[in-house]
Amino acid sequence: MKVTHYTDIPGTEMNNDMVEGVTGRVLIGKNDGAKNFCMRRFDVDPGGHAPRHTHDWEHEIYVVEGNGEVLIGEQWHAISSGTVIYVPPNVDHQIKNSSDGHLAFLCLVPSVAPEM
Amino acid sequence: MKVTHYTDIPGTEMNNDMVEGVTGRVLIGKNDGAKNFCMRRFDVDPGGHAPRHTHDWEHEIYVVEGNGEVLIGEQWHAISSGTVIYVPPNVDHQIKNSSDGHLAFLCLVPSVAPEM
């Protein structure tokens, strides 16, 4: 079992040609005994973005803080704290922080996906 | 695909001998095409509580608002916004709102579990 605050889990800073200004954390994963799906949290600086990509597993996303935009397929949608997003397998997607504040979201993936 | 605010999803009020002052919502589930796991949100009134129970699937929980307590096995732990909880299969557990404010958490289950 596990009871911890997300800030007590070390974050991985991500800055490369695909990702900018993102810190990622595996909150619950295989190391905790979770065999079916993995909970991650991503914090995005103002102007930052997650990768635009596609893969053959789904995302279940919940926005916990801030404002931004999500691309699904060819359409961008505004997102804010409390927005729920389901990205089916094999659909192009991206999340960006187009605001001047902090953006944070949970993104869960099934066990076939890389955890980070 | 799905992009919506959780408040646009109808809630189910729960009050019985097991649950008190809880509103539950299936945020992402089989009706959305999600085959592997299900995202639910539960809002708990002050003094309210989810059921104390055990079952053979796991919970992945993230506290989004407020303060309360979680029982895992025989021990209670304080929880607050940002707390991450993994409850393994077949471990007794319960969440209660012992504060005078609102408590809300996400609780995800694998597809073998009932969605609500």
If residue A110 lies in a helix (H) or strand (E), which one and from where to where? strand A103-110
CATH no. for A41-111 = 2.60.120.10
Q: What is the pLDDT of residues B24-76, one digit of tens each?
A: 999 999 999 999 999 999 999 999 999 999 999 999 999 999 999 999 999 99
Cβ atoms of B22 and B49 closer than 8 Å: yes
Please state the pTM of the whole predicted model: 0.98
Instruction: Name which of B91, B42, B99, B48 is nearest B71 in CA terms.
Output: B91
Which residues in chain A are contacts of B77 at CB distance < 8 A?
3
Residue B30 in contact with partner chain A when CB distance is under 8 A: no
Dist. CA A85–CA A105, nearest whole Å: 10
pLDDT digits (tens, 9 = 90+) for B75-96: 999 999 999 999 999 999 999 9
CB-based contacts of B75, cutoff 8 Å, min separation 6: none
- CB within 8 Å of A63: residues ≥ 6 apart: A79, A80, A81, A82, A83, A84, A85, A103, A104, A105
B76 close to A (CB below 8 A): no
Distance, in Å, from the CA atom of B76 to the CA atom of B73, rounded to the nearest integer, reads 8
Nearest chain B Cα to A107, which residue?
Answer: B39
Output the pLDDT for position A96. 98
Closest residue on chain A to B83 (Cα): A5
Residues A55-110 have pLDDT tens digits of 999 999 999 999 999 999 999 999 999 999 999 999 999 999 999 999 999 999 99
| SS3 assignment, position A54 | coil
| Closest listed residue to residue B79, CA positions, set B89, B93, B65, B91 | B65
The mean of the pLDDT values for chain A is 98
| CATH classification code of B11-110 | 2.60.120.10
A52 at interface of B, judged by CB pairs closer than 8 A: no
pLDDT given at position B12: 97
What ipTM was predicted for this assembly? 0.98
